[in-house]
Amino acid sequence: AQSVSQHNHHVILSEAASLELGCNYSYGGTVNLFWYVQYPGQHLQLLLKYFSGDPLVKGIKGFEAEFIKSKFSFNLRKPSVQWSDTAEYFCAVIFNTGGFKTIFGAGTRLFVKA
Amino acid sequence: ETGVTQSPTHLIKTRGQQVTLRCSSQSGHNTVSWYQQALGQGPQFIFQYYREEENGRGNFPPRFSGLQFPNYSSELNVNALELDDSALYLCASSLQGAGNTIYFGEGSWLTVV
């Protein structure tokens, strides 16, 4: 069965620290990969996505992610976080198994100290 | 603002009752998917509809059913409600095809008592 794992459930950083959130999935076929952010009281917003091409993708607000096919990973990074990045981050994968199935990771709550 | 609207925003139902949640997709989007998000968890995929046909389903029992209409709006129906069905139900729309983003609505909060 397909699955998506996010390794860190809670992360606390100081402003200007670097961020890396892990995401791994289990499936050997075609996938589309996303990172979403959910700020307190708001709906899910797309940070970035990967469908094909350059495995290093850049998103909004200075975020980037790298798809490493051999490791089934799609880790999210930001060189220098800000207090306003405090939110919950979700990795999501669309699996094409003859039908489409979208699976989200459990989420990582990031708290950035000012 | 994603252009995806859901109704109602909040509702309370009694165990055993049935509920219908509605979603209006972003203009031009032909694919809609529904998710259940319990408190403190990530969204769980319920199913997806493309041009009025279900073309993907997660691990939810048959009492969770859906419809997509010719104008691409959608309904999620849940029969025989259970206490564990209490959650935020999210609708998302997209244009079927590679490279297309899923846009989420703000959700419908369902409480089953």
DSSP element (H, E) containing B4: none
Task: Flag if B45 and A104 touch (Cβ within 8 Å).
Answer: yes
pLDDT at A8: 86
pLDDT at A86: 96
Of B113, B16, B22, the closest CA to residue B69 belongs to B22
Task: Flag if A44 and B104 touch (Cβ within 8 Å).
Answer: yes
Instruction: Give the minimum alpha-carbon distance from A31 to chain B in angstroms, rounded to a whole number.
Output: 10
pLDDT at B47: 93
Q: Which residue of B has its CA nearest to A102?
A: B45
Q: Contact, B37 vs B91, CB < 8 A?
A: no
- Mean predicted confidence (pLDDT) in A86-101: 87
Task: Flag if B41 and A51 touch (Cβ within 8 Å).
Answer: no
Residue-wise pLDDT tens digits, A21-54:
999 999 777 889 999 999 988 888 999 999 889 9
User: Closest to B98 (Cβ–Cβ): which among A44, A51, A107?
Assistant: A51
Task: List per-residue pLDDT tens for chain B, 113 residues long.
Answer: 678 999 999 999 999 999 999 999 888 888 999 999 998 788 999 999 988 999 888 999 999 999 999 988 999 999 999 999 999 999 999 887 655 678 899 999 999 99
User: Closest to B55 (Cβ–Cβ): which among A45, A90, A100?
Assistant: A100
Residue-wise pLDDT tens digits, A59-83:
999 999 999 999 999 999 999 999 9
Residues with Cβ within 8 Å of residue B107, at least 6 apart in sequence? A43, B6, B9, B37, B88, B89, B90, B91
Task: Flag if B45 and A44 touch (Cβ within 8 Å).
Answer: no
- Interface check for A7 against chain B (CB to CB < 8 A): the answer is no
